Amino acid sequence: ANNVRPVTPQQFPSTFKFGCGSSAYQIEGAYATDGRGQSIWDDVTKKYPEKVVDGSNGNVACNSYELYEEDIKALVATGVNFYRFSISWSRVLPTGDISSVNELGLQYYDNLINALIKNKIQPMVTMFHWDMPQRLQELGGMPNPIIVDYFKQYAKILFERYSDRVKLWNTFNEPVVYCELGHSLLVHAPLVNSPGIGNYLCGHHILLANAEAYRMYHNFYNLDKTGKIAIVLNSGYTWPLDANNPDDVEAAERTIQFWLGWFAHPIFSSTGGYPPVMTEVINANSEMENRTWSRLPEFTPEEIIYVRGTSDFLGLNYYTSSYATPATDQIGWPNPSFYRDRNTFTSVNETWPVAKSTWLRSVPQGLRDLLNWIRKQYNNPEVYITENGWSDEGELHDVGRIEYLRGHLQAVLDAVLRDRCNVVAHTTWSIIDNFEWMSGYTEKFGLFHVDFTSPNKTRTAKDSVAFLRSIISTRMMPTN
């Protein structure tokens, strides 16, 4: 009976919130304006333009630094309840350190926040969306434990300045992507070549820094208890390639534990610490490599307790899903590495619709299954879907995006109403076309088209805006 679709249309609860997202480096531009300092993305796109498919960068991007009011018009036209954007660390602290507070940078976010509130759009602020200040990278960046203290200093500045108006905070965006793609795979900035080692150090310090920021916020800044602060994790769901093969079942579970569990288990599980399967595998592999310590850093018993519970909700970025089976060879992976440790092959169903981004296929059922996995694994925590979206060529008649959103919003509705998953918000990525990291400007995720050739980067609504707007205002899925 659980799978029979009811005849009456079903509504999102009146408390359910809808938003759109963006991130600083992807939209702001103004890379050297008003004292902004350089970040690792300025550095990498400048030194290694060949890493970006069209050789582009975020120097100008959508120029949201000057045109943020145009972004707000787009948000108003979409009818969203909140806007998830990120603060550029090096815009407010050009060297990353408090010795260099940039008042003009702080004012920019004041203006943005105030204008949002004036338009009845709640600000949701991401403190770190991958743009590490270059000067802190030169100190070693995230793999250096001192970063925990630097992040805490930065967090304090943000809380002091904005916590009277900002009641929704995200500490880190997608730490697995930042640590793995940036410290192992040489895909993303900072292009640190330390597979199987630097990636885990990076993750360890993010977990500690998140805990510090969480506890500081609740001890000193959230005095009226109306605010929430959370980490944002991305994951797909992974099914066993052959559901009748116990090895595949185990491989699927291991794949999720290594990706989502790496950061979710220490924070959301009842026991804390890394997922047991990660600790066992990486400790055993480290021993086989004749190391006297594990490549996966160890939490002290005090740290396990200190880190556990340090997220008021789970921010979930969901894009796509896959199948898993145990790896049959490890030839393609550096030794050591995250992928050798995880030891699974993932694949997709070729019939799933594919976006302009080749990694992105539309699999709504994966979102529903993942939400249920989270419900069971972590005792039904509150979940905000902090990103979910589709890329194409940037066409205004964006039927692919509409179909993607239709399927995924229905999956959320089913998870909420039928499965009793505690999902309270959905965020479409992204409000406007923007700099899509190593894909440059070749893959467009926006609800609004941006004319990157025009001096005022004109924003134009795509068809998906009316579609989303109607869902938000009626709280109902369209029946046609």
Residues near ligand GBH (CB under 6 A) are 23, 26, 173-174, 177, 181, 187, 234, 317, 319, 359, 387, 429, 436, 445
Task: Collapse the DSSP code of 188 into the 3-class scheme (helix H, G, I; strand E, B; otherwise coil) and give the result.
Answer: coil
* Minimum CB distance to ligand GBH smaller for 307 or for 432: 432
Nearer to ligand GBH, 167 or 188 (CB): 188
Q: Which is nearer to ligand GBH, 313 or 441 (CB)?
A: 441
Q: What residue type is assigned to position 105 of the chain?
A: G
Cβ pair 174, 234 in contact under 8 A: yes
Beta strands in 216-288 (DSSP E): 228-234, 238-240
CA–CA separation, 142 vs 135, rounded Å? 12
Q: Are 22 and 131 in contact (CB under 8 A)?
A: no
- Helix ranges restricted to H, 289-431: 301-307, 338-342, 364-377, 399-417
Tokens (6 digits) for 103: 């008042």
Instruction: State in angstroms the smallest separation of the CB of 389 from ligand GBH.
Output: 7
Q: Looking at this protein, which amino acid is placed at residue 369?
A: D
Nearer to ligand GBH, 24 or 106 (CB): 24
* Least distance (Å) between residue 235 CB and ligand GBH: 10
Tokens (6 digits) for 416: 């909420």
Give least dist CB 45 to ligand GBH, A.
Answer: 15
Cβ 23 to ligand GBH, closest distance in Å? 5
Residues facing 444 on adjacent strands: 392
> Residue 440, Cβ neighbours under 10 Å: how many?
18
Residue 268 or 319: which CB sits closer to ligand GBH? 319
Q: 18: which DSSP letter?
A: E
Other CB atoms within 10 A of residue 451 CB: 14
**Could you say which of 180, 303, 387, 436 is catalytic?**
387
Three-state DSSP state, 314: strand
The least CB distance from residue 298 to ligand GBH, in Å, is: 28
From the list 174, 180, 253, 436, the catalytic residue is 174
Q: Residue 259: CB partners within 8 Å, gap ≥ 6?
A: 176, 235
Tell me whether strands 448-450 and 459-461 are parallel, antiparallel or unpaired. antiparallel
The length of the chain, given as a count of residues: 480
387 is a catalytic site residue: yes
Nearer to ligand GBH, 269 or 434 (CB): 434
Helix and strand tally (H, E) in the chain?
Answer: 18, 13
* Nearest-approach distance from CB 302 to ligand GBH, in angstroms: 32
* Smallest distance, ligand GBH to C-beta of residue 84, A: 10
Question: Is the Cβ of residue 216 or residue 452 nearer to ligand GBH in the bound state?
Answer: 452
Which amino acid does the sequence have at 108?
Y
Using an 8 Å Cβ cutoff, are 150 and 141 in contact?
A: no
Minimum gap (Å) between residue 395 Cβ and ligand GBH: 18
Output 316 or 412, the one with its CB closest to ligand GBH. 316
- CA trace torsion 129, 438, 64, 452 (10° rounding): -170
**Beta-carbon count within 10 A of 470 CB:** 13
List active site positions: 174, 387
